[in-house]
Structure 1
């Protein structure tokens, strides 16, 4: 039972993420409401999953390999991105493609940025450490075994998040449909 707890934590944190509007259920519901098709809301889940899983996988790989991120390099990179965004935004020359509704690639990029910004992978670290560095068979297998466990944890986390995100987005679409049909 002791080795099951980290997996339950990983799934539980994923489910909690699914309840958070920043996890993407608002965008998925908006796609469904806009198209008047609840299935469109469920189609939006794949790009949300890809972006979220990519962000979490970066942190999981860092934990599995025992890497630490250079604080100064991260601050310079983040600051540079903010400056580039500010210059583009305030110059009045925002490309037309940026102003149109996002497609699947835009939704995946948004999901990656949101998951990275709010530290989705970082909150998994306490559960990943016992999985990847504990007294398991992965410890004997070396870094590659730890990496596989970390990626499995990313899969469990993302699946739990998507299940809850899909339920909430579908519920919102169904609820709005009922409200609009009764008006």
Structure 2
């Protein structure tokens, strides 16, 4: 994340793509974004193929959630001043991060292990929206709203979303396969001592992104 914050100060297209990819990798690390569900489905079906197939609707649901937020932010950027948009986005990010810290893991949608691909995509969309995944990309795309980067804002935003989603998909694929391998050789006992509270890290990242916009 620190690398992403440094890149935000550089108004070049390469910085935008690297930031989008970095945030995609960060999102992919979060089990709430889907890899844990994909692993569970694969273990339930006793198939690694099911794990890989599950990643597709998860990525699509995530991309739709993030894309809607980016379209809204870029649209507002054409109507509001750059500074006003940055301050507003910062407040939303900080507020969402505090809300995530307070709410924790409560209120997550319930989807059974026998859900289809459409249900998995819907679950991913809801989870990404509830976690404010798209909001994290808003600071990186602010240069598009101010005209600091060449090209159309929506076109560049679409490319950033594609890079972000591809990075996330690559990360969750690797983690899912590693998780299945660990389960086959070690079991789940290590989770009792090795689990990390990713929700807390996610909330801190939201607040940090918001605070960055006020610097």
Q: Shift of residue 54 of structure 1?
A: 0.4
> Which of 9, 28, 42 in structure 2 is aligned with 1:18?
28
Q: Shift of residue 40 of structure 1?
A: 1.2
> Which of 140, 162, 180 in structure 2 is aligned with 1:173?
180
Q: C-alpha distance in 2, partners of 1:120/1:66?
A: 18
Moved over 4 A (4+): none
Number of equivalenced pairs: 148
Q: C-alpha distance in 1, partners of 2:183/2:148?
A: 50
Q: C-alpha distance in 1, partners of 2:149/2:30?
A: 33
Q: Shift of residue 137 of structure 1?
A: 2.5
Residues 114 and 159 (structure 1), Cα distance of their counterparts in 2 relative to 1, 3 Å cut: same
Considering only aligned residues, what root-mean-square deviation do their CA atoms show, in Å? Answer: 2.4
Q: Shift of residue 178 of structure 1?
A: 2.1
Q: C-alpha distance in 2, partners of 1:65/1:51?
A: 21
Residues 100 and 163 (structure 1), Cα distance of their counterparts in 2 relative to 1, 3 Å cut: closer
Residues 150 and 117 (structure 1), Cα distance of their counterparts in 2 relative to 1, 3 Å cut: same
Q: Which has the larger radius of gyration?
A: 1
Q: Secondary structure at the match of 1:44?
A: helix
- Which whole-Å deviations, capped at 9, do the CAs of 1:13-49 have from their partners, x for residues lacking one? 1101111011100111111111221121011011001
- Which whole-Å deviations, capped at 9, do the CAs of 1:41-90 have from their partners, x for residues lacking one? 0110110011000000001111222269xx9xxxxxxxxxxxxxxxxxxx
CA contact (8 A) 1:132 1:150 kept: no
- Which whole-Å deviations, capped at 9, do the CAs of 1:121-144 have from their partners, x for residues lacking one? 101001011135332322xxxxxx
Question: Normalised by the size of structure 2, how large is the TM-score?
Answer: 0.63
Q: C-alpha distance in 1, partners of 2:112/2:147?
A: 48
Q: Shift of residue 179 of structure 1?
A: 3.2
Question: Normalised by the size of structure 1, how large is the TM-score?
Answer: 0.73
Residues 31 and 100 (structure 1), Cα distance of their counterparts in 2 relative to 1, 3 Å cut: closer
Partner of 1:86: none
**Structure 1: where are the runs of 5+ without partners?**
72-97, 139-144
Partner of 1:52: 62
Partner of 1:41: 51
Q: C-alpha distance in 1, partners of 2:146/2:71?
A: 12
RCO comparison, higher one (Cα < 8 Å, 6+): 1
Partner of 1:125: 138
